Amino acid sequence: INRIGVFTSGGDAPGMNAAIRSVVRTALYENKKVTGIYHGYQGMIDGEFIDMTSRSVSSIINKGGTVLKSARCLDFKTKEGRAKAYGNIKREGIDALVAIGGDGTFTGAQILSQEYDIPVMCIPGTIDNDLYGSDYTLGYDTANNTVIDAIDKIRDTAASHNRVFFVEVMGRDSGCIALQAGVGGGAEAILLPEKETAIVELIDLLEHAEERNKSSMIVIIAEGDKNGGVYNVAKHVKEKFEHFDIKVSILGHLQRGGAPSSFDRVLATRMGYTAVRELLKGNSGATVGIRGIDMITTPLDEALNNREFKLNEELLEIAKVMSF
Ligand code: F6P
């Protein structure tokens, strides 16, 4: 391997820049060259390449988003798209890839490496924390801190007006943020895509909270919750408790931005370093990850077939006890 291509793809996540920096500096340290690929797979197809030096990743460890930009690319799902991408990569002299992103990114990397026999290593970067092969994905910790900060602020106004707030947090398929931030933010109830919390159950919970003289309440709902969306849940609750002063707050994309936390910066740096070292050792078609305190790698086949939703059942139980 002489030249490694690095790119970010799919939804951005805090810590991606720290990972890019780490990939670049580790590769240069090992006397390899690095090409940055803009806009993920789309940039591969469109030929958006840039030679990376140590200076091109200066002062980005603390920045949210991704300096290499990101995209969701439909063309790459076609054989023709991938052929064009591989032609461009070859012309650039790129002979290995580090892909930073979520499950879509992993899938693209796996197909490309199988079709064209190019070594790839993936780094899990998504705030959703829904990838197998790593206890934590890049951006998850930062997003949780952002959500907790928002819940704290909502609590101030909820308490002042005796209101019931329904706060929607990100997680199309995963309730990790909802659970973690719900417990950390002291929510009265948490609705997750992984758990069918019937609205009757929620009403029951709120009824008990009211009996215990709670004057304001916060309910956290993951965007992937199966009860028809935050407004629908709020409507049903309002029908039951007409006297509740209900407000809905959708946190949306602000959860994806901001400076990465200390945890995400260090994790990203370790992951970038490990990805390059593993490639140079001959490992390929795998993702790096953290298990406990150790860096590990997992074959992409295994990671993609076990796409895991790491719902912590104990934490779920604790959340229920804490709302008592
Ligand atoms: O980054 C993951 C995620 O935040 C999901 O939870 C969410 O549904 C999705 O991205 C939305 O991303 P976009 O608006 O970029 O399609």
ipTM over 0.90: yes
20 is in an annotated binding site: no
**Going by CA atoms, what residue is nearest to atom 16 of ligand 1?**
11
Give the position, in ligand 1's atom list, of the atom nearest the Cα of 174.
6
pLDDT in tens, 86-109: 999 999 999 999 999 999 999 999
- How many angstroms does the Cα of residue 280 sit away from the middle of ligand 1? 33
Residue in 256, 264, 309 to alter for ligand 1 test, most ligand atoms within 8 A of Cβ = 256
pTM over 0.90: yes
Contact, 32 vs 280, CB < 8 A? Answer: yes
Task: Tell me the pairing of strands 3-8 and 33-37.
Answer: parallel
Computed from CA positions of residues 109, 113, 114, 116, in that sequence, does the dihedral angle turn out positive or negative?
positive
How far is residue 18's CA from residue 248's CA, in Å, rounded to a whole number? Answer: 34
Give the position, in ligand 1's atom list, of the atom nearest the Cα of 177.
6
105 is in an annotated binding site: yes
Residue 128 is a catalytic residue: yes
**Residue 48 φ then ψ, to 5°:** -95, 85
Residue in 66, 128, 179, 194 to alter for ligand 1 test, most ligand atoms within 8 A of Cβ = 128
Give residues (CB < 6 A) around ligand 1. 11, 126-128, 170-172, 223, 256
- How many angstroms does the Cα of residue 250 sit away from the middle of ligand 1? 13
Active-site choice (12, 46, 128, 225): 128
Two tokens, residue 242: 């007409």
What is the per-residue pLDDT for 84? 98
pLDDT in tens, 119-169: 999 999 999 999 999 999 999 999 999 999 999 999 999 999 999 999 999
What is the per-residue pLDDT for 308? 60
